[in-house]
């Protein structure tokens, strides 16, 4: 893993020097994928079957998000980081 990226200890999140990237959480009945608002807005049609709120996607453990959708959400988030980095700004907390 690049030195600019690091897994946060004791949390299921990944960060970059510029801020929070994505995260996930699990309970007995559901999972949560934390992406921030922009990726959710950009992929709203694909995320219609899932509960979304405050930059979070909730889904059942036995009905996981498709891997290609997760990839597109993360790519969108990384593009946000790159755009902010070029402009010399850091990411706000999501």
**Is residue 39 domain-resident?**
yes
Residue-wise DSSP of 24-92: EEE-SSEEEEE--HHHHHHTTTTTTTSEEETTEEEEETTSPPPHHHHHHHHHHHHHHHHHHHHTT-PPP
Give pTM, 2 decimals: 0.73
Q: 12-44, pLDDT tens digit by residue?
A: 555 555 567 888 888 888 889 999 999 999 999
CATH number at residue 15: 3.90.1150.200
pLDDT, tens digit, 9 for 90 and up, residues 1-17:
444 444 444 445 555 55
What's the pLDDT tens digit per position in 46-94?
Answer: 999 999 999 999 999 889 899 999 999 999 998 988 887 788 766 554 4
Residue 91 falls within a domain, yes or no?
no
Q: What is the number of structural domains in the chain?
A: 1
Residue 94 lies in a domain: no
């Amino acid at each position: 893993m690049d030195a600019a990226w690091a897994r946060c200890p004791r949390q299921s999140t990944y960060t970059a020097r510029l801020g929070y990237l994505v995260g996930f959480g699990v309970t007995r009945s559901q999972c949560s994928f934390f992406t921030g608002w922009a990726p959710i807005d950009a992929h709203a049609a694909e995320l219609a079957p899932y509960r979304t709120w405050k930059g979070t996607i909730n889904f059942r453990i036995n009905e996981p998000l498709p891997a290609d959708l997760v990839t597109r959400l993360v790519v969108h988030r990384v593009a946000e980081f790159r755009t902010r980095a070029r402009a010399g700004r850091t990411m706000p907390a999501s």
